[in-house]
Chains A and B, each alone.
Chain A
Amino acid sequence: MRTLKTSEAAAVLNVSPNTLRAWERRFGYPKPQRTAGKHRLYTHGEVAALRDALQEGLSISSAISRARESLSSDTSTLIGALQAFELDRADAAMEAALALRSVERSVEEVLLPSIREIGERHGFDSAPWAFAARWATDWLQRAQRMAPPPMRPAAVLVGDATRDDLDPDALALKALQLFAVRSGARVLVLPITGVAGLTEVLGAFAPQVVVIAGAHASDDDVARWAYRVRAASGALPMTLYRRGGRADAARTTARILPDSAGEAHRLVLDILDGRPRGVAAPAEDEIAQPDDRRQVKAS
């Protein structure tokens, strides 16, 4: 992904850096990432889309709306590729998305909405859904393999309460797992139904936060597993992710994570970093990427 500094982005748009910052405040676009030194980094794709839209717009708002629309075409391309069962084209669509966005935003803004759209069109028990979900699972796993090794002393234990890989919540869980790994945490996913030998595993893994994800497993299974985790590792912060109506009904002090994988990830990071409840999490692009973190460590 090609990025631009504030001065470079301002030059592309033929405006001053102050104007660019004013647009960010008023319109929320272009949305920069931050370097370890808190400097803004704009994605070239967003800036180029805005430059083109400004030529044909009547206001900054309408130009930004048009630029956002042009960026959303990646979603249409991915849906088209998956509906035509063309895996290479689907991979290419994600490559195009990655040229304009971070991995996190590509997953949240392109991959997950596209897969959900296919499920809603064909049904979550259909063959096209299975085809798309399998491809998405594979893509997320590939992305995870390319993530750098753990950089922070943080360990997240995930209790997988989803049905299987074709459960719509399973993809969101894999996205959350990818984001956590990319932020430098160690992540261990265990099925909620497997309690035998749990103590030994947790003794070696030493989790700091627990995420119970998915709505398929019963509350009894979840309670049994959570009890074993508590017995093995002590009173860890417990969170619920995509438990559906079960989370509301459960009489528990567990914190409920938002459905968005990105927002859930930010909240998990807050818990890991010991931020008090209610303190606003930094924006996704304000979270330093693993590469930035290495620089911080080295300096």
Chain B
Amino acid sequence: MIERPRLVALPGHGERSRPDVHFCGHCGRRPQSTDIQPASRVCSRCGLGLLVSAPPDAAPSPQDPFLLVDGQLSICGVSRLAEQLLLTSETDVVNSHIGDLLVPADVEIGGPESLVNLIVHAARGPGETHHVVLRPAKEYGIRFWARIAPCGPPRAALVVLADGRA
């Protein structure tokens, strides 16, 4: 008798014990309500961002600059602190390619593929958190230690920037 193929859950998948946390895409703060699903997607604290969710270990704190990038590598959101850090404005860079703003620190050697792959993986794939070193696209000598993780809805990649390893 031939055994029919069947789907088997791999260990570690589908066992996420902690629910995703919500944060504002502009100020990075958590919603005031303790509801898992806030009534309005607009942040009630700053009013300038939409509430997005991410795994608790990847979600930014209000002190973390971060960006939201979709699966087509377009910048969809830039937090207030990231605007200050990258000397840009969200309204100027939204819908731009992420490569216009950030590139891997070793882009001259390895090209931009590592960052591209991580973002696409986070925005479309199973969504583990990855770490990578980035630099501004048009500036040398500056390094950011970034963690890239899934976020949404809609599904996208969260790029949290830090000035040192966590």
Q: Is there an interface contact between B48 and A58, defined as CB atoms closer than 8 Å? A: no
User: Which residues in A have their C-beta under 8 angstroms from that of B154?
Assistant: 56-58
With A58-B68, A58-B154 in contact, do A27 and B50 touch (Cβ < 8 Å)? Answer: no
Q: Is there an interface contact between B42 and A58, defined as CB atoms closer than 8 Å? A: no
Chain A interface size band reads: 20 to 34
Q: Does B150 contact A (CB under 8 A)?
A: no
Q: How many A-B residue pairs have CB under 8 A?
A: 64
Q: Does B26 contact A (CB under 8 A)?
A: yes
Q: Does A14 contact B (CB under 8 A)?
A: yes
Q: Is there an interface contact between B39 and A14, defined as CB atoms closer than 8 Å? A: yes
Q: Is there an interface contact between A62 and B94, defined as CB atoms closer than 8 Å? A: yes
Q: Is there an interface contact between A59 and B77, defined as CB atoms closer than 8 Å? A: yes
Choice from B25, B41, B52 contacting A55 with Cβ under 8 Å: B41
Query: Whole-angstrom distance from the CB of B96 to the nearest CB of chain A?
Result: 11
Residue of A nearest to B75 (CB): A62
Query: Whole-angstrom distance from the CB of A137 to the nearest CB of chain B?
Result: 36
User: Which residues in B have their C-beta under 8 angstroms from that of A27?
Assistant: 91
Residue from the set B40, B52, B156 with the largest chain A CB neighbour count within 10 Å? B40
Distance in angstroms between the alpha carbons of A57 and B154 in the assembled complex: 7
User: Which residues in A have their C-beta under 8 angstroms from that of B25?
Assistant: 58-59
Choice from A15, A56, A58 contacting B47 with Cβ under 8 Å: A15
Residue of B nearest to A63 (CB): B50
Q: Does B95 contact A (CB under 8 A)?
A: yes
Q: Does A208 contact B (CB under 8 A)?
A: no
Which B residues contact A (CB, under 8 angstroms)?
25-26, 39-42, 47-50, 52, 68, 70, 76-78, 90-91, 94-95, 151-152, 154, 156
